[in-house]
Amino acid sequence: MAQVKSEIREYAESFVIAVLLALFIIFFVAQSFLVQGDSMEPSLHDGERLLVDKVTYRFRPPERGEIIVFSFPKDPRRKFIKRVIGVPGDIVEIRDRQLVINGVPIVEEYIRGPMYQPYGPITVPEGTVWVLGDNRNNSEDSRFPDVGPVPLNLIVGRALFVYWPLGEAGVISVPRVLADLK
């Protein structure tokens, strides 16, 4: 009988350790995120599952072109996913259906069509990033007052890779045009 109790205790301890380890990973290291909607098409699609890195931004701020998950400013229980377009001090505008950052027109081959509405210019405030969905004409992003420039403290993490569905699995890359912009 003592042998059975010992085995049960061992299983219980293993289970508790596994749960604590899983909670540590979810809260501090990485977590799964479900893409809902088409605001990030063609880069990400409705129903895809991503792994979100929660460590990187503890050591450096977000960079242009990275896709981030953040809490919606008006309701932090809701999570949004968008691409970082502007970092603090950048001047961002949409002019003649094209994104312009710091006076440089950006040729964006990763978006779903040109933008219809002009915007800005706006200078990205300190402590924030300016985000857009890749489906620019169907995205609630920094152009809208409910979102605006996203405070760094609302960022959950950086989208690293798609893991589901398996046919779409892969690393999420930063467009060279944004990575090279100074």
Strands, sheet with 119-123, edge to edge from the N-terminal-most edge strand: 104-105, 98-101, 91-95, 119-123
Instruction: Tell me if 137 sits within 8 A of 115, measured CB to CB.
Output: yes
For Cα atoms 51, 36, 61, give the angle at the middle one, nearest 5 degrees. 45
Query: Which of 89, 70, 93 has the alpha carbon at shortest distance from 80?
Result: 70
Q: Which residues belong to the active site? A: 39, 82
Residues 6+ apart with CB under 8 A from 80: 69, 70, 71, 72, 131, 140, 141, 147
